[in-house]
Amino acid sequence: MRIHQSADHLSDTLQAVLDGRLVPAAFQRPYVWSQSDVTALWESLLNGWPIGSFLIWKPGAGVDLAKAGRSRLGPIQAAGASRWTGMILDGQQRLTTLAWSFLAADAARPDPMSLFDAERATWAGDDVIVADGEQRRVLWVPKSDASSGWRIPVGLLGDLALLLPALNALVSKHQGQIPKDVFDWFDAASHAVRSAKITTTTIEDATPQEAVTAFAHVARVGVPVTPDEVAAALAWAAP
């Protein structure tokens, strides 16, 4: 087993998620975040605040990947197990939230009945999360109001190739120039997202038992796991 830490661009880790190459370990908790949790994560990103570290497991030879990993992370269906680059032991809630946030408006979405309860309540309801240049913040609004004012889908902040056409479309809609303070906010928000870095601890060539030990330790110093959750993880790791 080898353990190492790295400072990575959040965008690189997120791309691995969106490609289905980074998946949750099968024993991970269900999604539990509410809209307020999502907003708080985005506030941290846009202010340049740390959003916490991530723990990734790269299993050693002989591990049954199909058993070890879950087939879906938020709206993203996992790629074939042969393409997986790692499994998420800590950071699933944040990465799931970002996967939903960056999902294209025209992308295929899972059947709402296949989602976890909190996931369905947060992401399959009548509200959507937008970046509002006039209010200079990220907020949830009814779908019918998502294109009002100077609003764009929040996920566009991570990609200049999508952001600039969206801003041009806003200018056309308003029949004039974008106000400088609005443009400056979008520019700063996009830069904050695209330049965000995270600390990743990677466990390589570890057995399932070693992965569970790492998971239990991290969970004790973060959000405590219950005895039942640890027992389920140990049962999952058993030969």
Residues 51-91 pLDDT 10s: 988 989 888 777 776 777 788 899 998 887 678 888 888 89
Full strand arrangement of the beta sheet holding 22-24: 2-9, 197-206, 54-59, 86-90, 22-24
Residues 4-23 pLDDT 10s: 899 999 999 999 998 988 88
Mean pLDDT value of segment 207-225: 67
| Per-residue model confidence (pLDDT) at position 29 | 80
| Per-residue model confidence (pLDDT) at position 143 | 94
Nearest to 23 by CA among 106, 85, 104: 85
Per-residue three-class SS string for the chain:
CEEEEEEEEHHHHHHHHHCCCEEEECCCCCCCCCHHHHHHHHHHHHCCCCCCCEEEEEECCCCCHHHHECCEECCEECCCHHHCCEEEEECHHHHHHHHHHCCCCCCCCCCHHHCCHHHHHHHCCCEEEEEECCCCEEEEEEHHHCCCCCEEEHHHHHCHHHHHHHHHHHHHHHCCCCCHHHHHHHHHHHHHHHHCEEEEEEEEEECHHHHHHHHHHHHHHCCCCCHHHHHHHHHHHCC
Per-residue confidence band for 237, with pLDDT thresholds at 50, 70 and 90: low
Nearest to 25 by CA among 78, 75, 62: 78
Look at residue 218 and tell me whether its pLDDT is greater than 60.
Answer: yes
Residues 90-140 pLDDT 10s: 899 999 999 999 998 888 899 999 999 999 999 999 999 999 999 999 999
Look at residue 205 and tell me whether its pLDDT is greater than 70.
Answer: yes
Mean pLDDT value of segment 24-30: 81
